[in-house]
Structure 1
């Protein structure tokens, strides 16, 4: 049964072939599996080619975003995303490393989790700490979404008017605030 419940924003990405083929095929399969397990796909962005992050870590990525509906809480949605990743061959070996599939929970409506102070601490984490530090709880909205063209450009396809509940900016405004070269590096396929 497909349910609509709470609205969530997710980011999809991959830069390695999976048993299903190239990253675009893996992303399509992930979206299909989400629907099969009761997630409503309300909108799906175009697929984009984006430079690998961090630079030099592997082949370019294919990224996308989706607006979904689900009658569960954010932790349940995150668990569903991890289940789909694992079912499609994702192995969590290296933070920000190469991968067949990455499904990230970006936002849960206007909710801030676990609280604004924790969100601010993670949002302001120095870049050198971001590589090694992993939160032990779900942080929403994603603490660095406002810095990442590979998330924001696809997100603008599905939720340009979504307002970041801490920053008070829409997705479209966050895209406009990025350096032009970052935005131009995100190319529709």
Structure 2
């Protein structure tokens, strides 16, 4: 019996050298590591230069996105991503800021995890609380996807028609709702 596959979008980012590699090379190596884990990459975005978030927290980032197809659960994917991050020197010390490698599971089909009520609480978390609080469980879709040009611009390359299961907007519609300066700051390499 054939297992069911799902599609997921992974966001990739880096703004620090690791092992002497510039961030864009780290992302290329991370994509290779994703493939070595047996994940099927269906689409890969361009690489983008993006301002560090939050502003002033470090050097500018290189960001990208990949659309994968997998039989693995979201929780298995998260473990794989954390393992790859660890291999590239990622330490989970500060909430936002500099990263040797950041791999985020942005969405997994139209799944909402852990449930709509918990998702809604993270979606509506005030900006000041977002700086201080991090979820202790997987939240899907990523509760800030609609706010971040550095995620949506690359995501538009690989899954422009993915529809947010709570906001009922496509990637392109969410992107159109962002300030034009935020979008313009995300530039292809």
Shorter-chain-normalised TM-score: which range? over 0.9
2:32 — aligned with what?
A: 32
**CA offsets, 1:81-107, max 9 Å, x none?**
000111122122211121110000000
Task: Give the aligned CA root-mean-square deviation in angstroms.
Answer: 1.2
Distance (Å, rounded) in 1 between the aligned partners of 2:148 and 2:4: 28
1:140 — aligned with what?
A: 140
Is the contact made by 1:4 and 1:69 (CA closer than 8 Å) also made in structure 2? no
Question: What is the TM-score with the length of structure 1 in the denominator?
Answer: 0.96
1:119 — aligned with what?
A: 119
Distance (Å, rounded) in 2 between the aligned partners of 1:91 and 1:31: 19
TM-superposed deviation, 1:8: 0.6
Distance (Å, rounded) in 1 between the aligned partners of 2:180 and 2:97: 25
TM-superposed deviation, 1:5: 2.0
Distance (Å, rounded) in 2 between the aligned partners of 1:182 and 1:88: 28
Is the contact made by 1:4 and 1:39 (CA closer than 8 Å) also made in structure 2? no
Is the contact made by 1:113 and 1:141 (CA closer than 8 Å) also made in structure 2? yes
1:60 — aligned with what?
A: 60
1:131 — aligned with what?
A: 131
Matched residue pairs, number? 187
Distance (Å, rounded) in 2 between the aligned partners of 1:173 and 1:142: 16
TM-superposed deviation, 1:4: 8.4
Distance (Å, rounded) in 1 between the aligned partners of 2:17 and 2:4: 31
Question: What is the TM-score with the length of structure 2 in the denominator?
Answer: 0.96
Structure 1 runs not aligned, ≥5 long = none
2:104 — aligned with what?
A: 104
Runs of 4+ in 1 over 3 A off after TM superposition: none
